[in-house]
Structure 1
């Protein structure tokens, strides 16, 4: 009996499930039909299992755009005893060995999901899956042991940890290229993220997507873009002062000397990859059209697939990386792993009502939404309530615009972000009964301007009694700030965590911070509780010149779990955390109370520390 029966089982299953939720379908190529694709034919030219000819897998499956970089390759064997060899190099005899050989060739140009199948009945079928991303030296085994629909295969691929990391790094690479291009066409640092956000909003409109490429007059296209943004705001019931504020923020699109110019524009050569042939040939100005097309290709797919990344926050940080705009405003965007840490510390659930009185680009609401939507388990009514329960306040018009657009492109149908001063909005917010407060307030530029704890007090003021408020603030607030006394008079200080010194390395800020946790409307003295202090200086992230601080050794999840568990259990960990009763006059840092264990100090560490101290002293003398 040949392998045809095994192939028939697989092929029949695949044909039943070739449709995707997008309305598109995959294309299944049985041997030898995939030779019609020249690129695949060339890659398999020397992939014979015998080492002397073309590779011939049973099937190859291709996916439509935007996932055309993914291939599925299938190898079948009738005998389940011929599923996988011990050595892995019996390519002609075993299904796994053979399919991984094909993967090693195809992965030079594609991401490859390999499927090895053995057996002649559906009941006994043995199925193994592997993923090898483009350029990776080897494939990794996946835990799935049965045939899946192509929708499920697409999810398995897109949400694979390595694929997600790769996609995110590609987005960061693209943000740098885009930043250079937008700088070259004379867009300011504040205008760049606004343009990206506006384009992403417009790309959610089917009519805009279908017709923007046909607009050959730049001034007509710029007006079409802003009109579409306005219509999207109307659809989402954003009106009045809030809508006018956002439209004003986007107003530069219609007046910009390059974007809206009907004259041909010469673009510097270093950004030619974002320029169309029409522009190169000198036909007409296609700068805005090319930008929209490029963002549709490189960003839209990411925001749809990975809904809970603060993409606009990342673009904002990149666009301001070498400027002073964010620092002059005291704006320091919170890293995503810290916004997720807040969600864990607060034990956010689907019924939480979140309030961020310094919303920024909406990093905290987005992380909270991720947890809350997961807990809704597909209940659409509960999900609608989640959207209503994401409350924010933002006084900076551009940041307000970014926050609202950031939520809109994630499909949030009810936007509850308020434009204006959180101090003036306090009474209105209080009526919404928030029960979890998150914030990263604007940081003072000078010591005498210190006001971070005013924002903490404001957040606590509007929360329901016994709610949790979590704030990340400069560590100076924990040492000598007169507002500490007012905080403890009304609220309980549950915990303070000292954070990594270079936590905000990505934003080029030098602020050393701590996280404070409060229980609202219960005076500290009345709680009669010791405060938990954590020395959380090592989050496992390391500096990477290209990507900023990254979790390269994948330590963060374990570290976070350890931190959160010790806090929730209120269990001190030697050298890392302790419980201590404090007042407003005391220092609120773990460093002030932890005992240093000198027994672990090595001679080399001592020498290095001494050298550093001597160099510092000499520098100070000079």
Structure 2
């Protein structure tokens, strides 16, 4: 009861223990006896969240979780309802439906303890037909913030709002890609044109730009007008020094200089640039609230453009990080508003956007928020056009772009980076598959070491890399792992869903370190199998939440931060050596004690096999007679 109470408290749900402070429910419980005697019944916890009743029955042993008939249906005889958690919870749910005005009940059976347990929800409405839902690890799906989403996704089978938004964005990206294709733009130029137009549209509110001014004028082209608006907005956003502004403007010159997108069509009388700008203003600029979300919209567009062109950025080692991973990074390191964050391979700026979003949510002080934007977000990007996209992204989010730099991270001494931009948190998704005998410094694990060396002492660092990089498949990588442990501490590694980078074919993991502190010999690291993260591949959309992602993430964070225990199947805590493969699969051992039912099934299978062999004349396989000789 205490453990379940703590789970409810952690999920910010208030239910009443063995009774209800809701008069209608309290009255119904007076006749809710599981023995059907008409006397009182007392579920462990009951209460109302929005218009849903939650009722929980819990038992101390997993063997008391549920009692079913041969077809898998929950039995409703008195003995089953009294002895088994799920049967009892369903009994109370049916009684509430029959005796109250509440017509949506989620009955939850809980069995076991903090380490080994089962938590099974059942939804029931006035049809009285119970719908058993997938097991959960926490109650976070049932709190006020999440229960509607859970109901629509798990019970009604509808797409989540997030999925609809993602689908709409990807549909816009597809439409826009087809429009950009008409202009003969290269893969690098497409996202630059999009980001440049979005910057120009910001000048509309200052009367410095208007879509209606894009008339295809032969004296001052549409591209020149957009270019001038971009220049004005970069100045207005205080992008400095001037050399940085000039470098960014040079990338946007394609908008001004590409004849094909500036020429007026003889039939429509409009330029392709006018079409692009109208589409972006209608579908993106006016509908997406940039500053209120951790979404990397330009990153999504970029990834979509790459996929339509038959490439995914792997030739450059570019693998864009999904939003749920960038947000998870912030939570794994307990990101604070006072932290200074460095992403040395910032790409389109996804980690910095997530970090800024998380940090701004922690304070209402305008001076503090300005300091976050201006002083606490550091990014480095080698590719000129990616640097331009990242800068645009940060401007669209309301500043934060002043500490983005366009240079080769690996070419800079770690001590110089540490001095010039001292940071307390490092986040990185390094270029993939770039290392080799000729370029050993480009191995993902070598990028990781350089990041750790570049951070302040006691800084937290979190990286997402291919699993192969932490196994040490080459001698160089093994040597780097040994070098890392001499200077830094490995906190743990989380094995991720193989579809995290959908369509790329990389099996990723997250590694978390403390920088500048040599790894203690007896330090116990956490190795977690988070392959079941609640995300699945949806046709034409990509990776989406199947309704359990919030629950799965909450359980991961509870285990990672030591708020709850877990079975070794999910998490192993152990000391390590540099030569080890730093993955859950390397350290995993099965510590689950077989149940009596498991033992009986195994023995039955064995005896069936033995009988089958004897009847086929192979009884000698079971002859245990020893030869004295």
SS in 1 for 2:337: coil
SS in 1 for 2:362: helix
Say which of 431, 439, 449 aligns to 2:420.
431
TM-score, structure 1 as length reference:
0.65
1:538 deviates by: 1.1
Q: Deviations over 1:268-306 (max 9, x none)?
A: xxxxxxxxxxxxxx2523321121111011011343254
Q: 2:41 maps to what in 1? A: none
Q: 2:224 maps to what in 1? A: 223
- Distance (Å, rounded) in 1 between the aligned partners of 2:355 and 2:276: 31
Q: 1:303 maps to what in 2? A: 288
Q: 2:574 maps to what in 1? A: 580
Residues 303 and 410 of structure 1 are in contact (CA less than 8 Å); yes or no, is this contact kept in structure 2? no
Q: Deviations over 1:408-435 (max 9, x none)?
A: 0111255211110113444145333210
1:523 deviates by: 0.7
RMSD: 3.0
Alignment: residue pair count: 433
Residues 443 and 469 of structure 2 are in contact (CA less than 8 Å); yes or no, is this contact kept in structure 1? no
Q: 1:615 maps to what in 2? A: none
- Distance (Å, rounded) in 1 between the aligned partners of 2:372 and 2:483: 33
- Structure 1 residue 489 and structure 2 residue 486: aligned? yes
Question: After the TM superposition, which residues 48-447 of structure 1 pair with which residues of structure 2 at under 5 Å, given as runs?
Answer: 162-163=160-161, 165-205=163-203, 206-207=205-206, 211-217=210-216, 220-238=221-239, 239-261=241-263, 263-264=264-265, 282=267, 284-304=269-289, 306-322=292-308, 323-324=310-311, 326-376=313-363, 378-387=364-373, 388-412=375-399, 415-425=402-412, 426=414, 427-445=416-434
After superposition, the Cα gap between the structure-2 partners of 1:413 and 1:569, relative to the gap in structure 1 and judged at 3 Å, is closer
- Distance (Å, rounded) in 1 between the aligned partners of 2:547 and 2:163: 11
- Distance (Å, rounded) in 2 between the aligned partners of 1:212 and 1:311: 22
SS in 2 for 1:579: strand
Residues 316 and 431 of structure 2 are in contact (CA less than 8 Å); yes or no, is this contact kept in structure 1? yes
- Mean CA deviation greater in 428-437 or 172-181: 428-437
- Structure 1 residue 548 and structure 2 residue 568: aligned? no
Q: 2:515 maps to what in 1? A: 520
1:564 deviates by: 1.1
After superposition, the Cα gap between the structure-2 partners of 1:183 and 1:226, relative to the gap in structure 1 and judged at 3 Å, is same
Residues 533 and 552 of structure 2 are in contact (CA less than 8 Å); yes or no, is this contact kept in structure 1? yes
Say which of 551, 556, 581 aligns to 1:558.
551
Q: 1:18 maps to what in 2? A: none
Say which of 446, 449, 454 aligns to 2:446.
454
SS in 1 for 2:299: helix
Question: After the TM superposition, which residues 20-31 of structure 1 pair with which residues of structure 2 at under 5 Å, given as runs?
Answer: none
* Unaligned residue ranges in structure 2 (runs of 5+): 1-100, 105-147, 606-629
- Distance (Å, rounded) in 2 between the aligned partners of 1:177 and 1:566: 43
Residues 236 and 415 of structure 1 are in contact (CA less than 8 Å); yes or no, is this contact kept in structure 2? no
- Distance (Å, rounded) in 1 between the aligned partners of 2:590 and 2:400: 52
Say which of 503, 509, 520 aligns to 2:504.
509
1:185 deviates by: 2.3
SS in 2 for 1:294: helix
SS in 1 for 2:405: strand
1:503 deviates by: 1.2
1:164 deviates by: 5.0
* Unaligned residue ranges in structure 1 (runs of 5+): 1-84, 89-131, 141-160, 266-281, 607-622
- Distance (Å, rounded) in 2 between the aligned partners of 1:522 and 1:193: 41
1:394 deviates by: 0.5
Q: Radius of gyration: which is bigger?
A: 2
TM-score, structure 2 as length reference:
0.64
Tell me which of the two structures has the higher relative contact order, counting C-alpha pairs closer than 8 angstroms and 6 or more residues apart: 2
- Distance (Å, rounded) in 1 between the aligned partners of 2:417 and 2:510: 27
1:242 deviates by: 2.1
- Distance (Å, rounded) in 2 between the aligned partners of 1:475 and 1:454: 14
After superposition, the Cα gap between the structure-2 partners of 1:215 and 1:177, relative to the gap in structure 1 and judged at 3 Å, is closer
